[in-house]
């Protein structure tokens, strides 16, 4: 099975929108009065949630007039957050139809459909013209894409001259076998995790120049410590959270990733590139 098919199957979740609305209802939130902040616990599918998104965004110099591309947008949490906080227009692409359909429904529900548009597309063949975006970024996406050369070549192509490309991904620190399942893959054949050196090599080859690099291991360890307390609560999992996106193995996926980060085998990294 091709990696794209494996990844698409991994994230498929046809009843996701219904699950989110059901969970929100259990919290007493009326979907007809839904706000962006009501979704923050479920639509930020990466380490640090909203805080992680804003941590990356502060390095990207996004303004209200910026045209922004979210590569691997999921259900659109970061795109909606940046649009609601900054006022920018954000286009998002994702391989998983269930994520895109759910994301567009949620975007419409919170009144952001004029500024945020999500489409089903492959990051290796981005359906936008050259030099379309002031800022492009991807959050926890590269672990599912083996062809980093084409990925970054496409990101370079659609980013405007003097524009910025931001990456917040989990990367390999020590070359050893990983313990699965993980949030991005149930087994090894669904994972394309790579080292920061591999990322830099492909990025420079694409034409980017490195402006900033940051290791967020300490940030991740604190995030998972808080999450562990919540998961271990006698109340069980909350009605709404990233577990709705991860399925039955959600706890194990989170536990494995947290342990690998704590052991120094993988680490979340931020890279900021200029064109």
List the chain pLDDT tens, one digit each, 275 residues: 467 788 878 788 889 999 999 999 999 999 999 999 999 888 998 999 999 999 999 999 999 999 999 999 999 999 999 999 999 999 999 999 999 999 999 999 999 999 999 999 999 999 999 999 999 999 999 999 999 999 999 999 999 999 999 999 999 999 999 999 999 999 999 999 999 999 999 999 999 999 999 999 999 999 998 877 555 544 566 788 787 888 778 889 989 999 999 999 999 999 999 99
**pTM, full prediction:** 0.94
Question: Residue 52 belongs to a domain with what CATH number?
Answer: 3.40.50.150
Q: What is the reported pLDDT for 229?
A: 56
Distance of alpha carbon 209 from alpha carbon 228, whole angstroms: 38
pLDDT for the residue numbered 231: 54
Residue with tokens 């909203």: 50
Name every residue whose Cβ is closer than 8 Å to that of residue 144 and which is 6 or more positions away in sequence. Answer: 3, 7, 72, 184, 185, 190, 191, 192
Domain count, the chain: 1
Estimate to the nearest angstrom the gap between the alpha carbon of 10 and the chain centroid. 15
The range of the structural domain enclosing residue 38 comes to 3-274
**In the beta sheet, which residues pair with residue 267?**
171
CA-CA distances (angstroms) from residue 245 to 17, 145, 230, 235, 256? 10, 19, 17, 20, 16
Q: Which residues, listed in sequence order, are joined to residue 14 by a DSSP beta bridge?
A: none
Across the chain, where does the E strand assignment appear?
A: 67-71, 89-94, 116-120, 133-139, 159-172, 209-215, 266-274
Specify the pLDDT at position 1. Answer: 46
Query: Please, which residues have CB within 8 angstroms of residue 260's CB and are 6 or more apart in sequence?
Result: 178, 179, 182, 266
């Amino acid at each position: 099975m091709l990696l794209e098919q494996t990844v698409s199957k991994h994230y498929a979740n046809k009843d996701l929108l219904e699950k989110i609305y059901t969970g929100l209802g259990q919290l007493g939130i009326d979907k007809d009065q839904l706000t962006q902040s009501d979704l923050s616990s479920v639509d930020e599918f990466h380490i640090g949630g909203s805080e992680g998104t804003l941590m990356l965004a502060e390095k990207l110099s996004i303004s209200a007039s910026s045209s922004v591309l979210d590569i691997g947008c999921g259900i659109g949490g970061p795109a909606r957050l940046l649009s609601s906080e900054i006022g920018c227009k954000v286009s998002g692409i994702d391989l998983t139809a269930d994520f895109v359909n759910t994301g567009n429904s949620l975007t419409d529900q919170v009144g952001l459909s004029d500024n945020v548009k999500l489409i089903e597309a492959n990051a290796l063949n981005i359906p936008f013209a050259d030099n379309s975006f002031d800022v492009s970024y991807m959050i926890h996406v590269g672990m599912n894409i083996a062809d980093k050369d084409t990925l970054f070549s496409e990101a370079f192509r659609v980013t405007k001259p003097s524009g910025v490309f931001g990456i917040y991904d989990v990367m390999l620190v020590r070359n050893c076998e990983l313990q699965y399942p993980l949030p991005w893959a149930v087994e090894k054949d669904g994972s394309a995790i790579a080292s920061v050196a591999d990322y830099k090599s492909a990025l420079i080859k694409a034409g980017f120049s490195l402006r900033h690099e940051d290791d967020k291991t300490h940030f991740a360890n604190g995030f998972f410590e808080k999450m562990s307390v919540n998961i271990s609560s006698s109340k069980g999992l909350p009605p709404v959270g990233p577990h709705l996106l991860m399925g039955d193995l959600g706890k194990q996926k989170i536990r494995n990733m947290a342990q690998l980060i704590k052991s120094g085998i993988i680490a979340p990294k931020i890279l900021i590139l200029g064109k």
